[in-house]
Structure 1
């Protein structure tokens, strides 16, 4: 099973709606037995985020200043594998099977799987492609990573080899 980590960079009305869409998409993973819990990470809490977290059963984490959001979420996540997301990320059809196969077959040295994010900007897509060659020093939204790797700190040392997954994230 995996934990879904959703980093809300700026809690605005549009981010709140997108967060609800992302949490709704994870329900299929819960029903399939893949997703065990969800963690919402933000720099500043607000009432809307608290309401969404309470209503969905997710854990809300207000990260201390200077703490990396994925590490703050990993500290409270309850599963060995973490799916890093941003509000509005919607996994496309077939994502459950792809992630289940990855976490079930990944070797300890293969600790990072990456879903495609065609909606990401060009610089982010180019950086992700480069990391496919030289290895990833930190996770990005759309990555599936072992919890212990995140808790060991960033940047990853040595860099983690990226395995591209046959699933992608759409934008809500």
Structure 2
């Protein structure tokens, strides 16, 4: 597995990402994760939609909480052609509890805890922590990556406006 250093930090300390760096124009890699009810979900389950895929370390941390709430608020304005997914290594039960407590219904949370297939395929699995690094990907209806942001310092929020604008241009 490819290891990438010098890409991200956590509170200024460098970490190692596993997997290939995704680039705009690449075919979105397949992945296999589970939803809050432990049902398997794959990239193919969302075909025909523009996807904003938000990878976060853990919903139970302040920045991930803020980010997912922000995307949940934005989702209502985007229309039916755009789906926002938030992926983390949190257990599905913890994701469901967090969504209920936060009132998050427009964003679908998915867990990569079983096989880390998303983390490895999208190059966001943190070797030292076995968590996902903060990143945002926008995938068009044909399954092509149209926007990528690997957030350099994982305690910082992503560029919401650029990701949302990239998604809106695809519908």
TM-score, structure 2 normalization: 0.38
Q: Choose between structure 1 and 2: higher helix proportion.
A: 1
TM-score, structure 1 normalization: 0.38
Q: Choose between structure 1 and 2: higher strand proportion.
A: 2
